[in-house]
Chain A
Amino acid sequence: MKRLGVVAIFAVMMGLLYWRSPSEQPEPVVTEAAEIPAQPPSQFHEGSEAVTNSDTPRSAIRLSSTTKDLLLSCVKGSETFSGIHSPADFQTLDEFFTRAQRSHGGEKPTVELAFQNLHALTSNEEEIRLHVAALSGGETPSRMVPQFFKADEDGLPVPVDLPQDYETLTAEEALVRFHQQFPKLILDEKSETWRWPSGASANLKLRNGQLEEIQLFLETKSSLACGVAQERQIDCQCLE
């Protein structure tokens, strides 16, 4: 395994995949019909300490030349990224992915939700959580179910019964209902899998719309892994 460690100050740039100004917004990713549809934009409760997307600028942050070199060497030979040839072709990670998409005639990745957590405050200012994940060992393929939790004084989950009005809802219906019922969202956390038609794929972890972790698996059998090491810093590795 060859490790190329790079620490660059562009944590927010990763989040640009999701948080962008309208003018910079690329085509939205395709959502498979069988999967969770795109959610309405989260309305985060401003008074909560759990919100971490406060004063972070949402404009593109330029990648360092070292990081760009790392990305280029890592995706060498990948059909998905064949439209990117030199460091001048992209300035941000956002552009890196957008460019890849454009070079394939606009082919977009499909998105599959692995799990999602919504935390909100009730009218009594109590924390309530909705956790949506696959039902373990169930017989129905890809079946996802909603679960409700409260939080104890340490912020750890306390299972509560699923409210009666959620019992007949699918997971995607439950997410929408929760948004409507508890508008004071304090956390929106999810894990997704992206799959490009060319064969590349990625696992992403997002927290309040900001990308926390991405692992990109290329058709070339190598993978590019980036995670937010600390605020505004990201650690990338090319794994072979």
Chain B
Amino acid sequence: MVALFLIVALALSGSVTNVARADVWETSSNWNARAESAYQAWVTTKWQKNFFKKPGFYQNIAMDCADTVYAMRLVYAAENGLPFAMKDPTGGGGIISNEMTRWDHLPPDLRKREFLKFVYKIASTSSLPNDSYPVAVNRAAIGAGRFLLTDKASHHSWTIKSLSEHGVPFLLFASRPARIGLFERFEYPTVPFVFPNGIKPETHAGFRAFRHPRDLGKAVWQVPGYSLEQYTIPHKNWASQMQKRLALKSEGADQKLMRILANACQGAVERIDAVKRGDEINRSLGGACMTSIQFDDHSTPSRDSRLKGSFIELRDSYRRYLRNGKRISPRVRAQVEAVLAGDEGVDQDDFCPVQIERRTTLTLGQVYVRSLNDMMSADPHDSIAQRWGLQRFPSSKANSCRHFR
């Protein structure tokens, strides 16, 4: 009788404890092929650049690039009762998961928000390799919900929102300094940026998928779906090779040129704000130099190299099409030639005005020629005019301040 009483008492105390120690969210389902498929459909339709601006429990959370990759998986898992788990990047072999009870004093939706913010504080591009695996080169393995990681030297990552029928990934991503809105690109980032040390597996760079929680304890080569296939693709023409393998149909010359033009325009326009923010910080510091973090946040060497990559791709693709006698419509031809003409080009239909200051607007062609000739300063200690190649750089301040490279 006493034993029975003890068992009942223990069982009761156990359930009381369970109530008090609530998970971030309850796991009611598991990752399997059906869940993965629903996840991909959700990413394609709901994962948008203003996702964190919309009213809701995830509104106004600022993030950097790796945060965005984890958020894509975490938010879907949270909203669908699926487990989210990642290795503790700070060491010790623990697992960070929705079963953590640290926020059990909060209402359920606030717990999710706090958990997401917690993941942002511990996750980075360095933790992504432990929580994912490299995938094969086919449409089943590369597409919505997967991500692209660079070599450690570039320490950047992009989520894949979708893969077009022409085999081009639609990328959604964030950068530093952390911010609420996301950026978009419809392209393959350049090889020198993704693979600065070559297309090699030890870099962890390339297309990757999240591990299921049950696979976190395994060595990466034991994870189902692990493949080194993408590292067999030659460095030369990596993007076109990838596109060819992933395409359902080939991309026409007009489509491709307009896509590259749009990416270049987006890159140039996004640089306006990045440069302005850096200039504001620089002015607020007076004669003082930026700290290493400020310098990292407001310098633009990676951004500038990606922009230059887009311009090079535009130029080379156009020349190749001309050489091969491909048909290009007069409208597209005029727009591309206006950009490639540089300072002499006339912006077609006000295609992409780049307003760098209130009274100064550059054409995309003017940006193109400055980008290609490395005339634009990446140093946030330089003036806006120097950052856009309208004046020679470096400034005396940029010359005297430390470069964190």
Select one of A50, A138, A168, A215 contacting B221, CB under 8 A.
A215
A141 and B301 contact, CB distance less than 8 A: yes
Closest CB in chain B relative to A182 CB, distance in Å: 14
B175 and A149 contact, CB distance less than 8 A: no
Task: Given the known inter-chain contacts A137-B156, A157-B122, please indicate yes or no for A223 contacting B228, CB distance below 8 A.
Answer: yes
B404 and A143 contact, CB distance less than 8 A: yes
By a CB distance below 8 angstroms, the chain A residues around B94 are 154-157
What does DSSP make chain B's interface, helix, strand, loop or mixed?
Answer: loop
Surface stretch bound by A, among B43-51, B84-92, B318-326, B362-370: B84-92
Residue from the set B92, B122, B153, B291 with the largest chain A CB neighbour count within 10 Å: B92
Give B91-102 as 1s and 0s: 1 = Cβ < 8 Å from A's Cβ atoms: 110101000101
Answer whether residue A95 sits at the interface, using C-beta atoms and an 8 A cutoff: no
Select one of B66, B88, B222 contacting A156, CB under 8 A.
B88
Select one of A133, A142, A159, A193 contacting B121, CB under 8 A.
A159
Closest CB in chain B relative to A39 CB, distance in Å: 15
Interface size on A, residues (CB 8 A): 50
Select one of B92, B124, B300, B405 contacting A50, CB under 8 A.
B92
**B97: nearest chain-A partner, CB-CB:** A156
Answer whether residue B40 sits at the interface, using C-beta atoms and an 8 A cutoff: no
By a CB distance below 8 angstroms, the chain B residues around A137 are 64-66, 125, 155-157, 174-176
Closest CB in chain A relative to B376 CB, distance in Å: 14
Answer whether residue B230 sits at the interface, using C-beta atoms and an 8 A cutoff: no
Residue from the set B88, B202, B295 with the largest chain A CB neighbour count within 10 Å: B202
Give B272-295 as 1s and 0s: 1 = Cβ < 8 Å from A's Cβ atoms: 000000000000000000011101
Give A143-162 as 1s and 0s: 1 = Cβ < 8 Å from B's Cβ atoms: 10101010110111101000
**B118: nearest chain-A partner, CB-CB:** A159
By a CB distance below 8 angstroms, the chain A residues around B65 are 136-137
What does DSSP make chain A's interface, helix, strand, loop or mixed?
Answer: strand
A156 and B100 contact, CB distance less than 8 A: yes
A143 and B92 contact, CB distance less than 8 A: no
Answer whether residue B127 sits at the interface, using C-beta atoms and an 8 A cutoff: yes
Interface residues of A in 200-232 (CB under 8 A from B): 201-203, 213, 215, 217, 221, 223, 225, 227
B219 and A213 contact, CB distance less than 8 A: yes
A139 and B200 contact, CB distance less than 8 A: no
Answer whether residue A195 sits at the interface, using C-beta atoms and an 8 A cutoff: yes
By a CB distance below 8 angstroms, the chain A residues around B296 are 135, 138-140, 143
Nearest 6 pairs of A and B residues by beta carbon: A117-B91, A137-B65, A133-B126, A136-B66, A134-B155, A227-B219
Give me the interface of A with B, judged by CB distance under 8 Å: 50, 112, 114-115, 117, 119, 129, 131, 133-143, 145, 147, 149, 151-152, 154-157, 159, 167-168, 170, 187, 189, 191, 193, 195, 201-203, 213, 215, 217, 221, 223, 225, 227, 235, 237, 239
Q: List 29 A-B contacts (CB under 8 A).
A: A115-B89, A129-B90, A131-B89, A133-B124, A133-B125, A135-B124, A135-B155, A136-B123, A136-B125, A136-B176, A137-B155, A138-B176, A140-B295, A140-B296, A142-B153, A143-B292, A145-B293, A149-B90, A151-B92, A152-B102, A157-B122, A159-B118, A159-B121, A159-B122, A167-B291, A170-B292, A203-B202, A237-B221, A239-B228
